[in-house]
Amino acid sequence: MAPVSLQSIVKEFELEVIAEYGNLEEIRISVADVTRPGLQLAGYFDHFGPDRIQVLGNMETAFLDRMESKERHERIDALFSRGIPCLVLTRNHEAHPELLECSKKYSTPVLRTSLPTSDFTSAIVKYLNVELAPRMSMHGVLIEVYGEGILILGESGVGKSETALEVVKRGHRLIADDLVEVRRVSDTTLLGRAPEIIRHLIEIRGIGILDVKELYGVSSVKMQENINFVINLELWDEKKTYERLGINEETTSILGIDVPSITIPVRPGRNLAIIVEVAAINFRQKSMGYNAAKALTDRVFGPST
C-alpha cells in the first residue's frame, strides 16, 4: 500500500490552496478516512487520529465563530500541534486569521473546496479507499462484457489479446491489455485498471501496438472496472478432461478474494469471442439464481432435496 501525496489529492479534487509551504508533494496520506474535528476544537483529543485529513464544515466553523480570538487561537493551535497533514475548509468558508497563523507556525497546508462537507468527505474517502487498497499486477486482459468485468488469464501467446480485440469489435469495452493493476477495495471487491503508460493500447502479434480508443472510439474503452469473473485460457490438452456440464464451481484467488472462474481450452476453430460473451451471460444468470446445469439435473433426476 503506497501512501498518496497531498499534491495528488489537491489535483484530483481541484482544491484551492489557501496556505502551503512547498510540502504538498512531501506530505503523504496513508489512512483512508477523514475527521471533522468538532470534539477536538472543544478540547477532547482521546482516540484522535492525527494522521487523517481534517475537514471543517458549517458546524465547526460556526463553533469557532462564537469564540473570542484568544480562545479560538488556543483551540486551533491545539489541533495543529498534533501534526495533522492538512486542513480542508468546505463550502468556500473563509479561514480565520488564527487558523492561518497556526498553519504557518506548523507548516500545515490549508485547502478549500466549494463542495458541501458530506459530499466532499464521502468522495475523498472513496478515492482514498481505492488509492490505498492492497494491490498487485497480473499478466492478463481485463474487459467489460454486458456490464461484467471479465479478467482473461493464460500463458503468453494463447490468444488473450486477440480474443479481447474481437470482443471489443462486438461492442464491448477494453480496460487493460497485457498488464492489469488489481486493487482490493473491500473484502469482496476487486478493481482492475491499466497502467497509465499502456492505457487503451493492445498488442496483436504480427501487427504490433494498436490504440483501441482511436480505432473504435471512446465507447470501446473504460478506465477501470470491478473484476467479477475470471476466464482461464489454456491450449487444448487431449489428455485432460474438461468441464462439460458446468456443475462444478471453480474459483481463482486474487488478493485473498475467491473470484468465480472457468477454464476454456483453446484450439483452432473455436470462436473465443462468442464463448466469452456466453460465459458472461451465463455468469450473470447464475448470479441471479438460475443455473442451467442444475436445471438439467433436476429434469433428469428430479429436484434435489
Active-site residue 172, yes or no? no
pLDDT for res 68: 95
Active-site residue 205, yes or no? no
The closest alpha carbon to 115, from 176, 184, 34, belongs to: 34
Residues 163-187 have a mean pLDDT of: 94
78-137 pLDDT tens trace:
999 999 999 999 999 999 999 999 999 999 999 999 999 999 999 999 999 989 999 999
Length of the chain: 305
pLDDT for res 180: 96
Active-site residue 135, yes or no? no
CA 294/CA 300 separation, integer angstroms: 10
Mean pLDDT, the chain, whole residue set:
92
Instruction: Give the chain's count of helices (H) and strands (E).
Output: 10, 17
Choose the catalytic residue: 47, 70, 239, 244.
244
Active-site residue 178, yes or no? yes
Q: pLDDT band for position 304 (50/70/90)?
A: low
Residue % of the chain over a pLDDT of 90: 79
| Of 54-68, 239-253, 256-270, minimum mean pLDDT range | 239-253
End-to-end Cα separation, the chain, in angstroms: 47
Which residue is it, cell 470501446?
A: 220
Q: pLDDT band for position 270 (50/70/90)?
A: confident
CA 185/CA 180 separation, integer angstroms: 15
Cβ 154 vs Cβ 233: under 8 Å: yes
Choose the catalytic residue: 104, 105, 139, 169.
139
Cell digits of residue 8: 495528488
| Torsion, Cα of 163, 164, 168, 170 (10° steps) | 30
Q: What structural domains and CATH numbers belong to the chain?
A: 4-131 (3.40.1390.20), 135-298 (3.40.50.300)
Cell digits of residue 163: 480474443
Q: pLDDT band for position 2 (50/70/90)?
A: confident
Cell digits of residue 43: 478540547
Choose the catalytic residue: 77, 82, 178, 286.
178
pLDDT, greater one: 6 or 248: 6
pLDDT for res 248: 76
CA 277/CA 167 separation, integer angstroms: 8
Is residue 77 scored above 80 in pLDDT? yes
Alpha helices, H only, the chain: 6-13, 38-41, 58-65, 69-80, 97-106, 117-131, 160-169, 212-216, 272-287, 292-301
Is residue 18 scored above 90 in pLDDT? yes
pTM above 0.85, yes or no: no
pLDDT for res 208: 92
Choose the catalytic residue: 160, 183, 184, 193.
160
182-220 pLDDT tens trace:
999 989 999 999 999 999 999 998 899 999 999 999 999
How is 129-191 classified by DSSP, letter by letter? HHHTS-EEEEEEEEEEETTEEEEEEE-TTSSHHHHHHHHHHTT-EEEEEEEEEEEE-SSS-EE
pLDDT for res 305: 56
Residues 65-73 have a mean pLDDT of: 95
Cell digits of residue 63: 463553533
pLDDT for res 173: 96
Residues 259-275 have a mean pLDDT of: 89
Is residue 51 scored above 70 in pLDDT? yes
pLDDT, greater one: 302 or 162: 162
- How far apart, in Å, are the Cα atoms of 81 and each of 76, 86, 187, 281? 9, 12, 35, 56
